Structure 1
Amino acid sequence: MVYPFATRVQSITSSAVRDLLRIIQSRDVISFAGGLPDEGLFPVQELELAYQKVFLSGGKSLQYGPTEGDSELRLLISERLKEKGIAASHENILVTTGSQQAIDLVAKVFLSPGDTVLVEDPAYLAALQAFNIYEANIIAVQSDADGMIPEDLEEKIVTHRPKFIYVIPTFSNPQGKVWSKKRREALLNLAVKHNVLIVEDDPYSDLRFTDEAPIPLAAIDTLGKHVLYTSTFSKTVAPGVRIGWLTGPTEVIRMSALAKQSSDLHTSTIDQRAMCYFLQDFPMQQHLYRLREQYKQRLDVMQAYLKKSDPNLFQWVEPKGGMFLWVSINREIDTADLLKVAVEEGVAFVPGAPFFASQPQTNTLRLNYTHASPEVIEMGMCRLMAALDKVLASRVHD
Structure 2
Amino acid sequence: MTQRDTKNNLNQQDVNKPIYQADYQDDEIDLRELIKVIWDYKWLTVALCTLAIIGSVFYALNAQEWWVAKGKVIAPQVNDVAALYAQSNKVSAILNANDLFNNDNDNNNNTKQVSKELVELFEPETLFKNFINAFNSSINKKNFLEKNSAFLAYLQAQQISVPSKERRASDQESRQNYLMVLNHWMKEINATFDSKTSEVALSFRSATKASSAELLNEYILFIGENVKQNQVEKFLLFVDSAKNELQVSLSMTEQRAARELAILLQKTEYAYQIASHSGLVEYKTNLNKEDELFQINLGEKALKAKINVLKSIQDLSVLAPSLATMAITLDALNKLEFADDRSFIPYRYLEVVEEPLNRAAPKRALIVILATLLAGMLSIFIALVHYFMTKKQEN
TM-score bucket of the superposed structures, by smaller chain:
under 0.3
Q: Which has the larger radius of gyration?
A: 2
Q: TM-score, normalised by structure 1?
A: 0.21
If asked which structure has higher relative contact order (CA below 8 Å, sep 6+), I would say 2
Richer in helix (by share)? 2
Q: TM-score, normalised by structure 2?
A: 0.21
